Amino acid sequence: MAQQAINFDPATGDDTSGALRKLDNNVNDHETRIVAVKATADGAAGTAATAGTAANTANTALTATGWSAAVAPQINSIDGVNRSAIYRFIATTPGALPTNQAYGTLITLSYSASDYTQLATSVTNNEMAFRFYRGAGGGWNAWNRVWHSGNTTVDANLFIKKAN
């Protein structure tokens, strides 16, 4: 199978599940290729061990960035992320935490070597926020709170209001 490129374009790119599916297919393709090369070089002996080593290497990389971990790794600083990964944060995590969020999960996606986005979701309330980092433009922007049916109400005039 040919390698599947993950499209990070904000307008037309792959969603998270599509990107992870492509990543999984690429890892499986690499495992197949490694087994084939090993079998050709050494005969049939040892091919299972080679496939296991490739799978363990890929799983270690995915786990380190939170993509396949049962529990996302705790982030050292919410402002210090410079790669695509999934983390968890707590009230004492250094950096600018999202409004109304003391404990939650954080998805950071790299657009380039110096531009990132973050999406934070709380595990203690109904809050979600996002922000972006522009390396050329001065760092992290402020968190933007996501308004939704869980933290807003609609009045008789159909105006959206902040829920109490």
Together in a domain, 118 and 158: yes
Q: Which residue, of 34, 64, 94, is where some domain finishes?
A: 64
Q: What percent of the chain has pLDDT over 70?
A: 66
Together in a domain, 119 and 164: yes
Together in a domain, 108 and 77: yes
Q: List residues bridging with 139 in a β-sheet.
A: 134
Together in a domain, 26 and 105: no
Together in a domain, 59 and 74: no
Together in a domain, 88 and 162: yes
User: pTM, whole model, 2 decimals?
Assistant: 0.59
71-116: pLDDT as tens digits: 888 888 999 887 888 999 999 999 998 888 999 999 999 888 889 9
Residue 146's SS3 state is coil
Determine the Cα–Cα distance for residues 149 and 23; give it in Å rounded to an integer.
33
pLDDT at 11 over 90: no
Domain that holds residue 31: 16-64
81 in Cβ contact with 117 (< 8 Å): no
> Looking at the 3D structure of the chain, how many domains does it have?
2
Residue 9, domain member (yes or no):
no
Residue 122 neighbours by CB under 8 Å, 6+ apart? 98, 100, 101, 102, 103, 104, 128
Residue 128 neighbours by CB under 8 Å, 6+ apart? 119, 120, 121, 122, 145, 146, 148
Determine the Cα–Cα distance for residues 110 and 23; give it in Å rounded to an integer.
16
Q: What is the CA radius of gyration of the chain?
A: 21
pLDDT at 21 over 90: no
Tokens (6 digits) for 101: 């969020």
